[in-house]
Copies of this chain bind each other. A is one copy, B any other.
Amino acid sequence: MMLSSAPRGRPRDNRAHQAILTAATELVTELGYAATSIGAVAARAGVGKDTIYRRWSGKAELVYEAVFTETEATPAPDTGTLAGDLTALLEALIQEFTAPAAAAALPGLLADFAANPGLRARIRSEFLAPAKSGLVTVFERAVQRGETDPNVPVDLVLDTLAGAVFFHVGLVGEQPGPQLAAQLAAVAGRGIETR
């Protein structure tokens, strides 16, 4: 009984993998998401189109991996207050959404994810996974400090924070100033504080 089949034939080339991701990031940054085609990515990476389709099911999944997999596991902020923690989380979110490749990719990428039932579920579970775990931790501490109610709907808060940042800087295209995180924390944060 074999649990894992022995790998047969030529193994996949990891250099190709990396070249594809780099090419995808570059093209999305230069041309935008809509104008980036699989064929162009393949050409720039010096790779056949099949080599891409063998690894990703389409443009959305490829660009997602290329642009959003600098998954630095940021530890949850711990400034001592809910407002401070939220500001820190928002700063990270703003930074993530305004990085050149991400800003260029996000609207089209989210649209493609939203249009595909299989991908739609992954928006919250993957795009927002790091933010969510941080938010949960921040809330636990705030509950312990008595700053907020244990029944706060975390997912809704998360969608609100992400939606506000995405709409403000991703869609409307507003340049984020230095106080943006604090302002958003004030708008969206105090609502969940226990008075």
Contact = CB atoms under 8 A, between A and B. Distances in A.
B107 A173 contact: no
B171 A160 contact: no
Contact of A170 (B108, B114, B160, B189): B114
Interface stretch (A11-19, A64-72, A138-146, A151-159): A151-159
A46 interface: no
B160 A110 contact: no
A150 interface: no
B183 A153 contact: yes
Given A153-B183, A160-B188, 9 more contacts: A34-B111, A107-B111, A110-B111, A113-B171, A114-B171, A120-B173, A123-B172, A160-B184, A189-B191
